[in-house]
Structure 1
Amino acid sequence: MGIISWIVFGLIAGAIAKFILPGKDPGGIIVTMIIGIVGGLLGGWISTALTGANAVSGFHVMSFVWAVIGSLILLLIYRAVFHRSHA
């Protein structure tokens, strides 16, 4: 898959992560998109580390699941860091 495909893939994963964890997040849609893209990369890295297989070799259901998991992790970290700094 090309870089544009992975960006779109990450954007969709970020939108699903935001749907799973709704609430007000600072930064709005731009931050959510960045979290989705980076979360997709994080999910691929976690999958490779845990399974030893390259999960980012193409589009399939498990690569999408790992991208959403990575986005959820980053969204939780982002919320924890932001809320702690303003509390």
Structure 2
Amino acid sequence: MGIIAFIIIGLIAGLIARAILPGRQSMGLLATTLLGMVGSLVGGLIGSLFVRDGRLFDLHPSGLLMSVAGAIVVLLLVGATGRRRIHA
């Protein structure tokens, strides 16, 4: 997969994940793209646990769905760690 396709899929996955997850996420366009890109990697790793074809970074039909799922997981993890912080 080319880097441009990775960035575009990351942006789309980040936007969809932020729309699905309730609450206010104060992120700009760059942070949303990075969220989707990290979510794409997490989703790809989760997907590779179920399919053993040896091609982790290839485009798959379910790639966007797993990217969105991975971005939601990342948003939930970031939200959970952010709530535990004690503000002085």
- Give the TM-score of the pair, scaled to structure 2: 0.82
After superposition, the C-alpha distances for 1:8-32 in whole angstroms (9 at most, x for unaligned) are 1011001100000031224x22433
Higher helix share: 1
Structure 2 Cα separation of the partners of residues 9 and 40 of structure 1: 8
Q: List gaps (5 residues or longer) in structure 1.
A: none
Identity within the alignment, % = 36
1:57 matches 2:58: yes
The structural deviation recorded for 1:55 is 5.7
CA RMSD of aligned residues (A): 1.8
The structural deviation recorded for 1:35 is 1.4
1:37 matches 2:37: yes
- Give the TM-score of the pair, scaled to structure 1: 0.83
Q: May I ask how many residue pairs the two structures share in their alignment?
A: 85
Q: Give the 3-state SS of the residue equivalent to 2:85 in structure 1.
A: helix
Query: Which residues in structure 2 correspond to 1:1-87 (within 5 Å)?
Result: 1-26=1-26, 28-29=27-28, 30-53=30-53, 54=55, 56-58=57-59, 60-86=60-86
Q: Give the 3-state SS of the residue equivalent to 1:52 in structure 2.
A: coil
Bigger Cα Rg: 2
Q: Give the 3-state SS of the residue equivalent to 2:14 in structure 1.
A: helix
Q: Do the aligned partners of 1:41 and 1:70 also contact (CA within 8 Å) in 2?
A: yes
Deviation >6 Å, runs of 4+ = none
Q: List gaps (5 residues or longer) in structure 2.
A: none
Q: Do the aligned partners of 1:55 and 1:62 also contact (CA within 8 Å) in 2?
A: no
